[in-house]
Chains A and B, each alone.
Chain A
Amino acid sequence: MASVNPAIDIDNTNEEPGTRAPLVLGGLDYAGVTETVCAPWEAENPPKIWWLILAAALSLLLVLGGCVNHLLMKGVGVWGNNNPAYWGWPIVNFVFWVGIGHAGTLISAILFLFRQNWRTSINRAAEAMTIFAVVCAGLFPGIHIGRVWVFYWLFPIPTEHLAMWPNFRSPLLWDVFAVSTYATVSILFWYMGMVPDIATFRDRCKSKIGKIAYGILSLGWTGSARNWHRYEIAYTILAALATPLVLSVHTIVSFDFAVSQLPGWHTTIFPPYFVAGAIFSGFAAVVTLLVPARALYGLQNLITLRHLENMNKIIMATGMMVGTAYGIEFFIAWYSGVPNEQFAFINRAFGNFWWAYWIMVTCNVVIPQLFWFKWCRTTPWFMVIVCIFVNIGMWFERFVITITSLCRDFIPSSWAYFHPTGIDIMMLIGSFGLFTTLFLLFCRFLPVIAMAEVKSIMPHGDDHH
C-alpha cells in the first residue's frame, strides 16, 4: 500500500532551463496517484463543507426551477427584455456560460495537441466544468424561444402539418448546431477519457450497486495494449476535431451578433476576439473551481502551484488579446469614418451604460495585469479573487455588447434603457446553483483527476523524461 504524503503546497513553479519541474509532487508513485484521487471517493461520507455547498446549490437550483416555471406559465414578458433590447439577460447569460464552457475542451484538446503535459491533472475537472457550463448555457436560449414545447422545430425534422424547415442561412440556427454539437462531442470526449479511470473505480469499488454501475460504465475495459493503441489514436483524433470545434462554437456565437448591421455588433474581429474571451473566462472559472477543490480533497500534489501558475499565465495572455481587440475596435471605429460606428463606441464608454463598460475594462484588462507579479499568480487565495473579477468582467463584456448596441440603434426615437427584472437576476443566480450542483455530484461520484493520464507523464525507471 502506497503511502499518501501530506498535501501541502510545494513551490514547483521555478523551472531551471534544461530541466523540467515535476508535475507530480510528494514523491507519489503510481499507486500513490490512485490512492490520492480515490481517497475522497472512497471516504464513507463526503466532507461537511460538501454538504453545505450542496445545500446552498440545491436551493439556488430550486430558485432557478421556480423561475423557469414562472416563465413558462407567464411568457417571456417576465424578463426585462423590451423594445429595442430584444436580447436581454438571457442571451448575455448564454454567451457567458458558453464562454466558460470553452476551457475544458481547450485544455483537453489544444493543450494535448501542443503536448502540454501539465494539462493531465486538470483536464478532467475542466471538461466536466465545460459540460456543466454548456448545460447552463443551453438552458437560456432554450427557454428564450418562447414556446419551449416546440423546440424540435429548431432541428430539420420532417413534419407533415408544418411543411417547413429551419432556415439554414440564419446564424441563430448555426448556433443550435454549434452548441449541440459541442455539447455532444464534449460529452463523448469526456466520457472516453474517463473510461480507464472508471475501470479503476470498478476494480476498487466495494458496494454491489457501485460495482454494477461502474462495471457498465467502464465497458469492460482491461487496459490491453491493443486497446490503448486505438484509444490513443481516437483520443488524438477527437482532440484534433475538438480544436476547430471549440473555436467554431464561440465563433458562431459571435456571428449571431456580427452578421447584423448594428454598430458595435458588426465588426470582423468578433470571431477570434470572442474565442479569446471565452478561453479567458473559461480558465478563470477553472482556477476558481480547482483552488477550493484541491484544498478540500487534498490534491495539492497533483494540481500543483505550477499548474495554477500556467493557467494564470494563459488568463493574462488571453486577457490581453481581449484588451487588444477592444483597442482595435475603437481605432477602427474612428478610422472607418462611419458616424454610427463612432457613436456606438463613444456611447459604450461614456453613454448610459458607461458603468458597465468601465467595470468590464477594469476586470478584464486592468486586474489581470496583477499576474505579472509572480506572487499574485502563485498564491491560491489571491488568484481566486482575480479570477472571480475576470468572470464578472466577462459577464459585463457580453452585457455591454448586447445591451448598449441594442439600446442605441440607428433611430434615436427607438432608443431606450434596459432594466433587468427580479426574474432575470434570480435566473442568473439560479444558473450558478445548477452548475454547482452538477459539479459537486461529479466530484463525489466520478474520478476528478485523469489518473491514467497523470501516470503516463510520470517519470519511470531509467527513462530520460
Chain B
Amino acid sequence: MHETRPAKITSDVVTLNDGHLKAMPLLLGIGVIGLLASFILSMFSSAGGSAFERFSFIYLVNFCFVLSISLGCMFFVIISHLTRAGWNVTVRRLAELFAMCAFPLGILFLVILLPVLMGYDFVYPWNQSGWSAHSIEQAEQIAALDAAAKPPIEQLKGAYLNPMFFSIRAIAYFLIWGAMGAFFLKTSLKQDDSGDVILTKRMQALSAPLLILFAVTIVFSSFDFEMSLSPLWFSTMFPVYFFAGAFMSGLITITLTAMWLQKNGRVTDEITTEHYHDLGKLTFGFVVFWGYIAFSQFLLIWYANIPEETFWYDYRINTTGWGIWSLILVVGHLFIPFLAIMGRTARRNRTFLAGAGIFLLVMHWVDHYWLIMPQMDAYGHVFTFNPLVDIPCAVGMIAIYIAIFCFVAKNRPLVPLKDPRLGEALNHAVH
C-alpha cells in the first residue's frame, strides 16, 4: 500500500518565475522573423498563385494548427469539470492557460480576415464569383455575369459564404472562446486564493451548457475556416474530424508542456508518471478515434463514389506529391503512433512519450497542411510543399503561440493551488 500524500503543493517553483520575461521578446522576434521570411520566400515560390496567396495559405495552415491546440485544451477543461474528474487537477491549469490563448489568436486571424473583408480571394475562393467553375476560363466567364445570372450554387452559398457574414461569425467564435477561456481561468485562479469549493461547483454547473456552445462553435468554425476552402465540397463528418485532431494535439501539448516545465525545475512534484500515463492513454485513444473518423469519412465517400464529393479526395490521393502526403498522414498519424504508444511501458517512459508526442504534433501539422494546402491551386493540382516557405512560417507561428502562452501564464501558478480535488490528483495511481 502506498502512503497517502497530503493535499499540498510541495514543489519549490510553481510559476514561470519570470522566465517568460526573458523568453517573450526572443519568441516574438523569432515569430516575426519567421513569418517575414516565409512571406518573402513565398514570392519566389513557383507553385501557383501570387505571393500573397502562397503566404496566406501556409499562414492559415499554421494558424489552424495552433488554434486547434487551444480548442483541444478548452475541451479538456470543459470535460474535466463535466465529469468531475479528480485525477487531472494538476495538469488542468496548463489546459486552462492554453485554452485562454484562443482569444489572442483572434488577432492573428486578422491576417486572413482583413483581405477577405477587402474582397480578395487569397484563401477563400468564395470571396470572388466564379468559384464553382472547373477551369480558369469558365471562372472568368462566370465572374463577368450579373449577380442574378450567376450559377444557382454560387447564389445559394453566397447567403452563407460572404465576407460580411463570415467575419461576423469569425469574430463571434473568438469572442465566445475568449469568454469561455477567461471564465475557466479566472474562476480557477480565484480558487487559488480562496480555495472556495463553490467555485468548483460553479464551473461544474456551467460546463454542460458551455460544452454545447463549444460544440456549436467548433462545428461552424471548422466549416468556415477549413471546409469552405473548397466551397463545392461538403461533409457532415468534417467537424468531428477537426475535433478529433484538435483534442489529440491538445493532450499532447499539455503533456509536452508539463514535461518541459518539470525539466526546468517547475511543478516538479505535482505531475507524476501516473498523470503522463493517463494522458498517454487518452492520446492513444484519440489517435485511434482520429483514425476511425478519418477512415469513416473516406470510406463513405470512396464507396458511394459521387463526383460532388470524390473530387476532394481524388485531388489528395491521385496527384503527384499529394498522394505521398496522404500516405504519410495515414501511416504517421495512425499506424506508427498506434503501435508506438499501445504498450504500457512506452507510455510510462517520459522520454519515449515526449518523442511520440512531438512526432504526433508534426503529424497534426501535416494533417492541417493536407486539409488546406491542396486548395491553393484547385485547377492546376500543384503539390505545394516547399520547406523554405513552410518551415519558417511554422516556426514563426509556433514561437508566437508560445509567446502568447507566456503572456497568458505570466507569473500565475501552473497548478491549481487549492482545488478541492488536489489530493485526489496527487494520490492518483494507475491500478
Direct chain A–B contact by Cβ atoms under 8 Å: yes
Measuring CB to CB, which residues of chain A are less than 8 angstroms from any residue of chain B? Answer: 15-18, 20, 113-115, 171, 244, 247, 251, 255, 258-261, 266-272, 317, 320, 324-325, 328-329, 332, 334-338, 372, 463-464
Cβ of A267 and Cβ of B236 under 8 Å apart?
yes
Q: How far is the CA of A464 from the CA of B281 in the complex (A)?
A: 25
* Complex contact B156–A337 (CB within 8 A): yes
The residue on A at minimum CB distance from B216 is A324
**Contact residues of B between 293 and 352, Cβ < 8 Å to A:** 293, 296-297, 299-301, 303-306, 308
B interface, over-half SS: helix
Docked complex Cα distance between A259 and B303 (Å)? 6
The reply to whether A18 and B423 contact each other, CB–CB distance below 8 Å, is yes
Residues of B384-431 at the interface with A, using a CB-CB cut-off of 8 Å, are 419-421, 423-424, 427
Query: B145 an interface residue at 8 Å Cβ cutoff?
Result: no
* Residues of chain B with a CB closer than 8 A to A17's CB: 84, 197, 200-201, 204, 419-421
Known A-B contacts A18-B423, A259-B304, A328-B219; A268 and B237 likewise in contact (beta carbons under 8 Å): yes
Asked, given contacts A261-B304, A269-B240, whether A337 binds B235 with beta carbons under 8 Å apart, the answer is no
Complex interface: chain A residues within 8 A of B87 (CB): 115
Please state if B292 and A247 are interface contacts (CB–CB under 8 Å): yes
Q: Distance in Å from the Cβ of A106 to the closest Cβ of chain B?
A: 14
Q: How many residues on the B side are at the interface (Cβ–Cβ under 8 A)?
A: 50
Q: What is the interface of chain B, defined by CB distance below 8 A to chain A?
A: 1, 4, 83-84, 86-87, 152-153, 156-157, 160, 197, 200-201, 204, 208, 212, 215-216, 219, 223, 232, 234-240, 281, 285, 288, 292-293, 296-297, 299-301, 303-306, 308, 419-421, 423-424, 427
- Which residues from chain B contact A113 at a C-beta distance below 8 Å? 281, 285
B240 contacts across to A, CB distance below 8 A: 269, 272
Question: Which 10 pairs, one residue from A and one from B, show the smallest C-beta to C-beta distance?
Answer: A18-B420, A269-B236, A268-B237, A259-B303, A17-B420, A17-B200, A271-B296, A464-B4, A337-B153, A336-B234
Q: Could you tell me if A16 and B306 are in contact, using CB atoms closer than 8 angstroms?
A: no
What CA separation (Å) do A338 and B293 show in the bound complex? 24
Within the complex, which residue of B215, B216, B300, B419 is in contact with A255, where a contact is CB–CB below 8 Å? B300
Question: In the assembly, what is the distance between CA of A389 and CA of B25, in Å?
Answer: 60
CB distance from B251 to the nearest CB of A (A): 14
Say how far B190's CB is from chain A's closest CB, in angstroms. Answer: 14
Whether A338 contacts B421 by the Cβ 8 Å rule is: no
Q: Which residues of A contact B285 (CB under 8 A)?
A: 113
How far apart sit A113 and B152, CA to CA, in the bound complex (Å)?
50
A-B contact pairs, 29 of them (CB 8 A): A16-B420, A17-B197, A18-B197, A18-B423, A18-B424, A113-B281, A114-B83, A244-B292, A247-B292, A255-B300, A261-B305, A261-B306, A266-B300, A266-B304, A269-B235, A269-B237, A272-B237, A317-B208, A320-B212, A324-B216, A328-B219, A328-B236, A329-B236, A332-B235, A334-B156, A335-B157, A335-B223, A337-B152, A464-B4
For the complex formed, measure the closest distance between the CB of B265 and the CB atoms of chain A, giving whole angstroms: 29
B273 CB to closest chain A CB, in angstroms? 16
Question: Which of A114, A244, A259, A332 lies in contact with B234, CB distance below 8 A?
Answer: A332
Q: With a CB–CB cut-off of 8 A, which chain B residues contact A464?
A: 4, 427
Question: What's the least CB distance linking B300 to chain A, in Å?
Answer: 5
Chain B residue at smallest Cβ distance from A273: B236
Residue of A nearest to B238 (CB): A268
* Closest chain B residue to A267, Cβ basis: B236
Q: How far is the CA of A384 from the CA of B133 in the complex (A)?
A: 55
CA distance A120 to B299 in the complex (A): 37
Neighbouring A residues of B152 by C-beta, 8 Å: 337
Q: In the complex, A324→B157 CA distance in Å?
A: 21
- With A18-B420, A18-B421, A328-B236 as known contacts, state yes or no: A268 contacts B297, CB within 8 Å: yes
Chain B residues closer than 8 Å to A114, beta-carbon distance:
83
**Bound CA span A329–B308, Å:** 16
Chain A hits for B208, CB < 8 A? 317, 372
Bound Cα distance A463, B1 (Å): 9
Query: How far apart sit A81 and B290, CA to CA, in the bound complex (Å)?
Result: 38
- Point out the residues of chain B lying under 8 angstroms from A337, CB to CB: 152-153, 156-157, 232
B200 to chain A, nearest CB (A): 4
Q: In the complex, A18→B303 CA distance in Å?
A: 51
